[in-house]
Every structure is written in C-alpha cells, then in structure tokens.
Structure 1
Amino acid sequence: MSDPAPTGITIEQALGQASAHWNAGQADQAERLCQHVLAIWPGQSDAHHLLGLMAHAYGNLDNAIDHLRRASQAPRVQAIYLSNLGEMCRQKGLLVEAEEAARRAVTMDATMVAGWNNLGIILQEEGKLDDSLSCLERVVSLQPNYAEAHNNLGNTLKRLGRLDQARWHYARALELAPGYAEALSNMSHLLNDLGDLDQAMTFARRAIDANPRLSDAYINAAAVEVARDRYTEALRWIDALLSFAPLHVGALGVRATALRQLGRLEEALAEARRAAAAAPNDGEIQNISGEVLQAQNKLPEALAAFDRAALSTGFAPEKALVNRGIALMEQGHKGDAEVVFENILAHNPRSVPAWFNFADLHRFRPGDPRITAMEALLAPGGIEGRADRTALHFALGKAWLDVGNPERAFAHLDDGNRRKRASFSYDATATDRWIDEIIAAFPAERFQHPRAGISGSDLAVFVVGMPRSGTTLVEQILASHPDIFGAGEMSALQVAVNTAGLYPASAAKFSVEEEAALGAQYLEAIRPLALQHRRVVDKMPSNFLFAGLIHRILPDARIIHVRRDPVDTCLSCYTKLFTREQQFAYDQTELGRFYRSYDRLLDHWRTVLPADRFIEVRYEDIVGDIERQSRRMLAFCGLDWDPACLDFHHTARIIRTASLNQVRQPLHADSIGRWRPYAQYLAPLLDALGISAAPAVETIVSDVPKVRAKRGPRLVAG
C-alpha cells in the first residue's frame, strides 16, 4: 500500500518534492504531493501545471489541458505555463485558444525562446504563415544553434512555397542534430515536393530508423509511394504505422485516400469515418471524407463534408473550396465553379489548384491580367514546388492557346510535360513488348474455345480508346438514353484482372471457370449502379488493353472503340495534365510510339472479335452526323432510338474526365484537324507517328498510314 501524503510540510516543500519525484520517474508520489497541495489550496497554479505535464506524458491530453487552464487562471501565472497550455491546445486542434495562450506568454516574457517557438508552430497550423515566419525567425535569432527552431522555420518556409530556404533550414537542423528524426522526416516531405523521390524515401527511412514510432515519417514514406502511383505499397507503410497507433487520424486519412485511388471505395469511406469519429473537427479529414463520398457520387454528403472542412482552421478551408469547385464542375455548373475559384484567388492568389481548375474553365482573351498573374508565380520568388510549377505550366499553355499565341503556349506545355515526365520512370520499349504479349495471349483460335456462361453479361457496355479520343462524348450520348447508366471511368475491371495475377501471362492460362469467376466479380461491381437501367457504360479508356479478355469473361458485353485522328488525339493528350496517370503522354516521341502500339493492338482486336460484340466509331463521324452514329451505337447495344441522345450536352450527370467541360457543349467541328496550325511544334510526335506535316485535305481525319486500308469495311458494321 502506498504511503499517505505527508503532513507537516509547507506547500513550497511539497511542490519541490513533487517535482523531484516526477524527474526521478516516480509519478505516483509526485501526483499525491500535488493533490495534497490542491486539497489545501485548490487553485494552486504550480500543482496544476505539474499535474498537466504528467497527464500529457501519459497521453491524457484532455486532462492535461484542464490542469493547464486552471494553472493559467492564477493572477501571477508564469509565462511558461501559458506557453505549455498553447502547445497542448495545438495538439488538441484548439488553435484559437492555443494562439491566445501563446501570445499571452510572449507578451509576459519577450525573451522566452520556447514561447516564441510554440507560437510560431501554432500560427503555422492556423495558416498565418507570415506571422509564423516572424516568430520563428525571432527564435533563430535568439538561439542560432536551436535545431528544433530551424526545423520549425523550415516547415513555415515550405508552406510559403520557399522551398530552397526551407531545405537550408532542415539541413541546418540536421547539422546541429544528425539523428533528429522530425527534421529527417520533413526533409523527406520537401524532397517529395521537389520531385526527388528516391532521396525522399531515403530520408523517410532514416527518420524511421532514428525514431521507429515517428508517425509522420511513415506518412511521408507513404506519400512517396503515392507520388509513384504505388498505392498498395503506400498502404504497407500506413499499416505499419497503424500497428502501433491504431487510431492515428492522419494515417487513417492517408489510408482512405490510397483505398480511394485503388477503387476500394467502401473500405475508403469506412477509414475516413473512423478518422472523422476520432477527430470530428479536423478539416483535412473532412476533406478526405468528402473526396471519397464524391467518388461514390454521393454529392450532397460530399458537399456537406467540404462545408465542414471550410469551417476549420489552417489550410483545410482552401482545399475544401477547391474541392467544392471541382464538384460543381463535375455536375456541369461551370459558372458557379468559376466563381468559387475566383473567390479563392481573391484571398490567395498563390493557390495553384485554384489557378489550374480556373484555367480549364475559363476562355482567356488577349490582355487577360490573369495570364500575367500566373506567369509571375513562375518567376523567382514565386511557386517552387515541382507539382505546382508543373500544373502552372499546363494552365499557361492552355491560356496562351486560347489567346492565339502557340509559341508561348508550347514553351509552357513543353516545360510542363518535361517536368511531369521527370517525376516517374517509364520504359517505352517494355510497353511495346507488353502490347505484343497481350496480342500473343489472345490468338484468334482462343475465341473458338468454349466461353464462360455468365448470365446477365449484356448489362455491360465498354467504351474504350485512347485518352482524349472522344470516349467521354460517346458515353454522354449513350447515358442520355433512359435505359443506359453512364458509370464513368470505373476501375473494377482492372482491379479484377490485377487480383488474378500478372496480365497478360495469367490471362493466357485462365480456365473457363476462372474466366467465369472474373466476369461474376465484375458484374457484382456494376449491378448496384444499374437500378432500372438495362445497360451500364464503363468508360475507362484503357480497357482497350482487355478487350479480348472482356469477350471471354463477359460474352454478351458490348465494346465500343472510339477513334479520332491520331495527331489530334495525341495533341489533346499532350496539352493535358491528367488526374489518372497516363505515363506515355508527357513526351512527344513516347506518345507517338504508344499510339502506334495501341493501334497495333486494336488491329488485332478488330480481327479476332465478332462484329456483334465489338464496333468502332470515329469521333469525326459523330461530329459530322450525330444522329446516324447515335442510332448505330444504340442498335449495337440492343436498344431502341431515343432523341434525348441528340441533346447529350443537356444531360445532367456527374462527369470526371479531362473532357468534362467540353462535353457540356453542343458538337462543333473546331477540334477536327486541330493539330495542323501547330505542326511546327509537333515534329517529334509526327515523326513517331510516321505522318507528314504537309497540308493534305484528305488526311484531316487520317489514321496512321499502315492501317488505313483495313479500317474502312468494319466502320460501317453494326
């Protein structure tokens, strides 16, 4: 049994002994002495402060804050108590109270380095970056060899976009303290932003080695894998973190994001809800929840989550407004979305996500001051982050094309594409071989073998083709029919294929039973979407890679291949920074080479797939006679004609592709032969495609020459 609290000692002696016991690791004795003091003097600030520190050390943040609040109510409270209250409130997310306490602390003692440091961190998290910078620069001036201050100053500079300066301060922190895990982790985060992914991963691993329980290091390692589009690997880092911190809010948020990218939306929503339950006022978690709900087409719930995020502090409100603008774009509310982005830019003219989305919506005119504003962000002292600079180059490329200055447009597009291409590894030769392997895995004789007997596979309609070839337009036309649901770009087929093994080697060996299981798995994913509809359109363009497998696993599914002039298609790809990774698209030679591989594969599908399950539609033919081509596609899908298909641009539905703004407009021929005025900027692409830049009327809707003769008869089938 523990000894009772001592008697016959003064309050000063009891507090001195309590501090000694706490410093010696004897928490029980320290707590008894503090409670003894409070029994005599209920508001004694020193006892409350020490109990608060003890509660914090044992993970009871609410109890710690309660004690620090009581300590801070004393008439002659010490400045350090207020500073500690500010730090604990920051950890709890109570940033307004945290700032108030921290400011009181430095007002009382302007020489207190820890106080200015705490205030600088609080202001940083509130998004008050200039004030944060001033505080942390003061800390460094007061104590130049304070490694933590250099680390914190680096964080503020990074958020201000001053990446070179941030890097210097992280490096200085590591000079002063080579094993400083937090600085190692922050350097990883910075290097990720700069596009140096290998070094970013090295620093994340070093941080974990220095402190195996540093949560941010695991999150930054996962962020590197996300930057590489390796979401499964990102989940491994997050799961390692959750193994010792199962309710870590940031980890749950990253896990939800990775699962969303993998198309595992129900799991993603479950993780987002776990995080939101643990931290209901965390704006970043509300944004992540909204993004998952948005991916599930639950727009009212998504917008409500974004609204909650907008009421939080720090950087989450700006992100919430950007997300709201994107949601409005996807629903076709172009004007409302443009207003949202303009409002963001009025308050934060350095918001690259707002500029990028605004540029996609806006039609620029000569002399538009917004172009000058974006150009300024690329000048010295402007935006330094790799991804942000890349996005600005694409936005400016579009703007200069709008105003009719292709020279300046392609200077930006070439720079943006180079930057994007440098951020990942892509092997064009390996891709060519992979296409050959797909062709070899599906020889003509394979389609003579018995197929999977899947009931209801006529529910599925696949719209495939190169990105920017007109697949979104075709889906929008079909989805305007009352019996067709347009599901957008679904990942369900790719997920099913990936779970079955390495494609195409695994697919070449599938038994009929395995094919049937894959088909059933896919239908299970799309049936909930169908409701009263007879057909569900899956418009993932890259499903052209699986056309032969689709016919094996879903014998009654229809495949519509959309074709467009190859140079127009590739130019349109080259001018877009894709949300989904299209790694072949950011170098003109690689882009042309990929197009020819795609073309070779479609030659094969055209030869081996039956005309009642596979047809091709030209974008140019749709523009020339939309009714004829729409009737043809509906007949192919086994449906009667409906004139609503001609008014596709009025159809209210969510669209999430790079063409979401164009497809809301009536058809016009402006995009046919679009590439010819820009031929001088497309020499590597034209060389790779084997197409001459010389004017030729008959080639305005040309194909790659080697296959032109093959395509004519099949295009009028169906």
Structure 2
Amino acid sequence: MIGAYMSSVPNSDALSIPEALSRAHAHWNAGQADQAEQYCQRILAAWPGQADALHLLGLMAHAYGNLDLAIAHLRQACMAPRAPAIYSSNLAEMYRQKGLLAEGEEAAQRAVVMDPSLVPGWSNLGILLQEAGKLEQSLACLERVVALTPDAPEAHNNLANTCRRLDRLDRAERHYRQALALYPNYAEAHSNLAFLLTAQGQYDQAADEARLAIELNPRLVDAYLNLADVEITRHRHGAALRALDALHAFAPQHLGGLIARAKVLKQLERTDEALELARQAVALAPYSAEAHLALALVLQAQGETDEALEQFEQAATLPGSSAEEALNGRATLLMESGRKEEAMAAFDRALEAFPGSVRVLTSRADAKTFKAGDPDVAVIEALLAEGERRSLPDLTSAHFALGKAYLDMGDAARAFSHLNTANRQKRSTFRYDSAATDRWMQGIADTFAPALFERLRRVGVPSELPVFIVGMPRSGTSLVEQILASHSQVFGAGELSALRLVIESHGPFPDLLHSMTPETAQRLGRAYLDRIEPLAHGHLRLIDKMPGNFLYAGLISLILPGARLIHCRRDPVDTCLSCYTKQFSGEQQFTYDLTELGEFYTGYQRLMDHWTRVLPSDRYIQVDYESVVDDLEGEARRLVSFLGLPWEDACLQFHTHRRVVRTASVNQVRQPIYKTSRGRWQACAEHLRPLLDALGPAAA
C-alpha cells in the first residue's frame, strides 16, 4: 500500500505517497505552508488516516498556534498501526502545552514503551511528570536523558528544573551551569538560572540573567516571567509590571503572563483588575492549578473567603505543582477567618501530602504555641541540616520558626541562635541605609512645621469615614483594630497600601509638600477615598491599620481633615523584640538587625513626638498596649468615643468576632486579653545588647 500512486496532486499526474510526503515536507521547510497542506490533504484523500500526513498537518497547525487542531491530527496519526514512537512523544508535548498533563503523560509513556532509546520521549515524559508534581519520577526520566546525551545542554537544563523543584538547589545550579558551559547563549538556561538565583536571594544576579535571556531571545516568555518574579520578590512592582508589559506586547493571552500580572496587581491593591485577570486565566485554562491558585489569592485579598477556599481546593486537587501552596493557603485562610480547629486540620492535611514542607511547617508555627517535645521542632531542625540544598527563603523561614519555638519553650539562648541567623540571612537580601532613613524622618518633621498647617488647614476632603491606626509593627495595632472592628458601625479593612500608593503617584514624599496647593490636597484626599469607599460596605467608619502610615500622619491631617488617627504605643524593647522575631510579608527593612531596629525606633519616636505637638487633639489620640491590657473596658470606651460612636458591649468580646484578620498577630487577636507579653524582653536581655544600646534612654 505504501507504494500506491495518486493522481491530481499539484504539478504531477502520478506520485507515490512517499514522493508526495517528501514534497510536502520540502514545501513546509521552504515556508510554503499552503502547498504543503495541499499535498497532505491529497495523501489523506487517497489513504484516509495516513499517519505521516496527519503528523505533518499536526506540526503545521501547532506552528500556526492552533493547538486543538494539532492535537486532533496527532491523536489520529498515533492511532495508525505502525505510527512511530516519536509521534506519540510529540502528541505528549502538545498535550502538555494545552495543560492536559494526564493525557500527555499517557502519550509519553506509550512513546518510551515503543522505543526505550527515544531521547525526546524520555525528555517529554520527564517534563510532564515535573509539571504534574511527580518529581521523583521526573528526576529518574531526566537523569536517563542526561546519561543518554551528556553533551546536550537541553538535557542538563531540564534535569536542573526538576532538581530545583525538589529543593536540591545545589544540584540544580550545577546542571544549569553545565548547560551554559555547553552552550553559553542558551537563553532558556539563563532564564531558569535567574529563577534559581531568586530563590537563593541573589536578586541582582537573577535580574541580570533574566535580562540576558531576553536579549538572547526576545520572545522567550519565561524570561519575562522570571524577571517579573525577581522584581516582585524585592517589592519593585512597577519594574515587574514593565517586564509583563513587554511580554504582553507579543503574548497578550499567555497564561503565565495573566497570572503574574494578577499577582502584581493584587500586591498593589488593584484587586478589581487582578480579579478580572485571574478569572480570565481560569476561563482560558480551566484545568490549570496555577490559574485557580491565582484566583484564590485575589479572592482572599478581597475578603471573599468562601469562594477563595473553593478555589484553593480546586488548585490543590488539579495536576500541577501548585498543590503545596494551595493547601497551605487554604489552611492559612481558615486561620485568618478564626476557624482554628479547621485550620490545624488543614495544616495536617497539607503535611500528609507534602511531608517536611517548610512552607507548611513555618505557617503552622505561627498558628500555635510550642511546648517541649513538639515533633515539628525536630522536623524543622532536620530540614535546616540539608543546608544549601534548600532555598534561602526556606532556610530563613525555618530559622524564624525555630526561633519562635524555642522562645515559646523558654530557651532564649537557642531561640536567639536561630533568630540571629534568620535575620542575618534576610538582611543580606536587600540594601538599607539606617542613617538615610533617620534623616528622611527628620526631614518629614521639618517639612510639617506649624506654618504649613496654618496655610493648608482644613482644605482637604472632610470625610469622617477613615480611621488610621498607626505605630510601630507589633505595638498592639491589630488588637486595637479588632476591638473597634467588633463595633457594628466599624469595618476593619486591615493593612492597606492605599495611602502610600496615592502619595507615591503624586511625587516624592515629603518633597511634594513644598508645592502643595488646596487643589492638590483635595485631589490626594479624593484619590484615597476612591480606593477605600468600596470596602466600607455601608459602615460609618473604616479602619486602615497600616502601621507605617505614622510617616504620613501630618499629610493625613491636611488631605483628610475629618479622619481620625490612633497611635498605638508599647514598651519600646518589647515592641522591637517582637519585630525581630517575625519575618514580615511586606517591606520592614529596619527590623532585621538589632542596632538598625533600635535606631529606627528612636527616629520613629522623635517623629511621633512632633505629631503630638502639631496635630489637632480632637483627631489624634494615643493608646498604650499596656493600658489596654490593664483596663480593657476603659480604653475600649475611650476609643469608641473618639470615633464618635455609641458604646457596644461587643467591643469587649473582640476575640469572638469572626472577621478575617490578615496580620502577623492573627493568633493573638483570637484570644482574650492576656498579660504574658508584657516585659517579655527581660528574659532575653543578654541577647539584646545591640538593641538596648541603640535605644539608649528609651529602653529604660
């Protein structure tokens, strides 16, 4: 049958099928797609189901971006009795690109059974298993590929990708470097090395590698995503969006691009835009775990708890590498929602699926109080013993978790051994100038002189909706918010970046005050209210509990003269100690060195003293954490009165309020008032000498 002849083929009266196939391939290789397709269609007219013609049509459809048609052609080609193994391998890769990982794995398995020496088959199977989260099986496949083709840079690159996902970072880097030694202009390996370097905390080098990958291959999608990832990691969201804009220019519907942009916009609190993109990603790839995870995270940020839990569950059960993050995210959201028993069960479920997960173990560490003999301590200690196999963020998180655990158990020496290492590791990942920060805060005080308030008094938007709770992190801001948010007319919005983003969009602070006009004040106030009013849901007061807004207290008084400010204070050393024990999700760069922490506190206190002198007393009050602990009802009544609201007894039962709390203090605000945190630093005094020296008289 293979020698059959056909008529009516272009430019030929009678060609054999092999000759027609040869001409089809020749036309395709010459860029003459129409002629190639005509030959294939004539072959199929003479021999329906002819595998080689179907395979070529599939490759052509894939090249032109029609993945569904490509899969249909290749699937039919593979049904032929003697279809080569490579056809099943190619079908597997197209299934992978479509996100159909189970179907792809089946096709790739079929390919290597048919031909155990087929390198592309093992490679495609290894990559499919990698994306499905079957990492040990992937490792075995890709090790076989390297053994069969030790001088192939692609083989080393693919093996490195699986090693990286297995947290064998030392081995991953070795294979990326080997791939680049074999092929220095290998854009994909440069891009993947960028992702690895981000995990190792080497952000400048990571960005350089990603940019080099883009220079080598301007249409390499992953390079743009990895550049965006490193910028997101170091909180440079504008730079991340620029990288994603460049990707969007040539791949506007790329799933990874949509997901990455949704995550950046969520960080910028542009959650409506983020939600639209995340839903678009799910619609585009309904079986993508990554898309459902992105949607869950945005819904969580919007306070849509039930739907977010559903999306976390979807992401956890779909094939892919997102299940660990999804299960951990679900448990964390349950904790934030005050459903502690369900949360602890969810953490257990996550650890059953991913034993030894640093992500899950450290999240659970924040949610509980350790006692002697807690098995998690030994597990986390063992993870640390793996050393550089693990990513720097994992190692840092593990040290923070053990620091907390040993503090809970009263072993200050071991606690500070881990806390000092954790903070040193975190501090190594960014640049911070303590002296420059101090000068900046002093410049803020100098700018907001009494004459400025006199010139711009009450020119802003007079809304009474906003209530700002400000102060140092870990100074009782979450407790005060929880007390007030238990009132029926108060909505606790948590820590919003809205004010900072509005200010940054109008110029550098405090320099923008030099040209401030009443119109500018109105514009800034209105821009902030536009961001928060949709969150209030009809409440008379909305709390913005971003502690760092203490920097902007003077500006708040100008642009929002009806706003109220509550400054939370706590013992300076207890405050700083609590900061030092936490790895913050946002930028709190001053907290990772005891001397710098003390220096920042001193500058903060000086600025707060200035605000006390210049801000109107009917819109600014101070509350001490210790006073709240000693006299909950008295302080709660004073705070409610300050908000201009009638008293409600619910404010005394704040720990039973079921609102979502997204803060480092989530566990504490779910408990009744307790006094064990007062004077906590004294048991650790010998380990705090740099802090005490920097605080000076404030520590007394």
Task: Tell me the TM-score range normalised by the shorter chain.
Answer: over 0.9
In the alignment, structure 1 residue 424 sits paired with structure 2 residue 421: no
- Give the counterpart of 1:172 among 164, 175, 178: 178
> C-alpha deviations, 1:211-239, integer Å up to 9, x for none?
01001111111111112110011100000
CA distance in 2, matches of 1:489, 1:534: 18
Residue 579 in 1 paired to residue 590 in 2? no
Q: Match for 1:368: what amino acid?
A: D
Q: Which moved more, 1:124-133 or 1:21-30?
A: 21-30
Where does 1:434-513 land on structure 2 (aligned, <5 Å)? Answer: 434-454=440-460, 456-513=462-519
Residue 558 in structure 1 maps to residue 564 in structure 2 = yes
1:404 alignment partner in structure 2: 410
For 1:658, the aligned partner's letter is A
How far residue 264 of structure 1 moved from its aligned partner, in angstroms, is 1.3
The answer on 1:95 being equivalent to 2:101 is yes
Q: Deviations over 1:533-568 (max 9, x none)?
A: 221111111110011111111112111100000000
Match of 1:156 in 2: 162
Separation in 2 of the partners of 1:186 and 1:448?
A: 57
Q: Does 1:185 align with 2:197?
A: no
Does the 8 Å CA contact 2:193/2:206 hold for their aligned counterparts? Answer: yes
Partner secondary structure for residue 616 of structure 1:
strand
1:53 maps to what in 2? 59
1:71·1:81 contact (CA, 8 Å) conserved in 2?
yes
Q: Which residue, out of 260, 269, 282, partners 2:266? A: 260
1:354, CA displacement in angstroms? 0.6
Measured in 2, the distance between the counterparts of 1:6 and 1:668 equals 92
SS of residue matched to 1:598: helix
- Tell me if 1:114 matches 2:117: no
Aligned partner of 1:520 in structure 2 is: 526
Tell me the secondary structure at the aligned position of residue 385 of structure 2.
coil
- Give the equivalent residue in structure 2 for 1:347: 353
Aligned equivalent of 2:28: 22
Superposed counterparts of 1:285-684, under 5 Å: 285-380=291-386, 383-454=389-460, 456-684=462-690
Whether the 8 Å CA contact 1:562–1:617 is kept in 2: the answer is yes
**Does 2:220 match 1:209?**
no
The answer for the alignment partner of 2:40 in structure 1 is 34
1:65 corresponds to: 71
Q: Which residue of 1 aligns with 2:233?
A: 227
Please say which of residues 421-430 and 279-288 is displaced more in the overlay: 279-288
Contact 2:9 2:15 in 1 (8 A): no
- Partners of 2:356 and 2:210 lie apart in 1 by 28
Task: Return 669-678 or 363-372, whichever deviates more.
Answer: 363-372
Counterpart code for 2:569: R
8 Å contact from structure 2 (residues 74, 87) kept in 1: yes
Q: CA RMSD in A?
A: 1.5
Query: Which residue in 2 is equivalent to 1:700?
Result: none
Output the CA distance in 1 between the equivalents of 2:77 and 2:257: 33
Matched-pair identity in %? 56
Deviating more after overlay: 680-689 vs 13-22: 13-22
SS in structure 2 of the partner of residue 89 of structure 1? helix
Distance 1:455 1:504 in 2: 20
Contact 2:461 2:525 in 1 (8 A): no
**Partner Cα separation in structure 1 for residue 533 and residue 189 of structure 2:** 49
**Deviation, structure 1 residue 488:** 0.9
Tell whether 2:695 aligns with 1:689.
yes
Q: Which amino acid aligns with 1:288?
A: A
**Aligned equivalent of 1:283:** 289
Spell out, residue by residue over 1:283-307, the C-alpha distance to the aligned partner (whole angstroms, 9 max, x if none).
Answer: 1111111111111111122222222
Give the whole-Å Cα distance in 2 for the aligned partners of 1:332 and 1:598.
Answer: 32
| Residues 461 and 522 in structure 2, CA contact (< 8 A), matched pair in contact too | no
- Alignment partners' CA distance in 1, 2:458 and 2:526: 10
1:9: how far off? 1.8
Deviations 1:429-464 (CA, angstroms, capped at 9, x unpaired) = 110011011001101222223434456522211111
Aligned AA (2:130) = Q
Conservation of the 8 A alpha-carbon contact between 1:483 and 1:535: yes
The CA distance in 2 between the partners of 1:266 and 1:507, in whole Å, is: 31
Deviation at 1:525, TM superposition (A): 2.2
Paired letter, 1:244: F
Q: What amino acid is the match of 1:123?
A: L
SS in structure 2 opposite 1:537? strand
Distance 1:674 1:613 in 2: 32
C-alpha displacement of 1:22:
2.1
Q: CA deviation at 1:380?
A: 2.8
Cα deviations by residue, 1:480-522 (Å, 9 ceiling, x for unpaired): 1112111111112111111111000002331112112211222
Deviations 1:341-384 (A, max 9, x none): 11111221232211111111122221222211111111137851
Q: Which runs of 4+ in 1 moved over 6 A?
A: none
Match of 1:711 in 2: none
Moved more, 473-482 or 532-541: 532-541
Three-state SS of the structure 1 residue aligned to 2:467 is: strand
- The answer (yes or no) to whether the contact 2:58–2:71 under 8 Å persists in 1 is yes
Structure 1 residue 17: Cα displacement: 2.1
Deviations 1:291-348 (A, max 9, x none): 1111111112222222221231121222211111111111011121111111111221
Residue 305 of structure 2 aligns to which amino acid in structure 1? L
Q: Distance in 1 between matches of 2:536 and 2:173?
A: 52
Q: Which residue does 1:698 correspond to in 2?
A: none
Once the two structures are TM-superposed, the CA of residue 269 in structure 1 deviates from its matched residue by 1.4
Distance in structure 2 (CA, Å) of the matches to 1:450 and 1:95 = 62
Residue 149 of structure 2, aligned match among 143, 147, 165: 143
Cα distance in 1 between the residues matched to 2:43 and 2:68: 21
* Cα distance in 1 between the residues matched to 2:489 and 2:387: 55
Aligned length: 693
Q: 1:184 to 1:447 in 2, by over 3 A?
A: same
Given candidates 248, 251, 268, the residue that maps to 1:242 is 248
Q: Are the counterparts in 2 of residues 451 and 512 from structure 1 also a CA contact under 8 Å?
A: no
Give a deviation string over 1:642-693, Cα, whole Å, max 9, x none: 11111110111011110011000000110000100001111111111115xx
Q: Is the contact made by 1:5 and 1:36 (CA closer than 8 Å) also made in structure 2?
A: no
Scaled by the length of structure 2, what TM-score is found? Answer: 0.97
- In structure 1, the gaps of 5 or more residues are 692-702, 706-718
CA distance in 2, matches of 1:203, 1:524: 40
The DSSP-based 3-state class of the residue aligned with 2:201 is coil
The range that moved more, 219-228 or 375-384, is 375-384
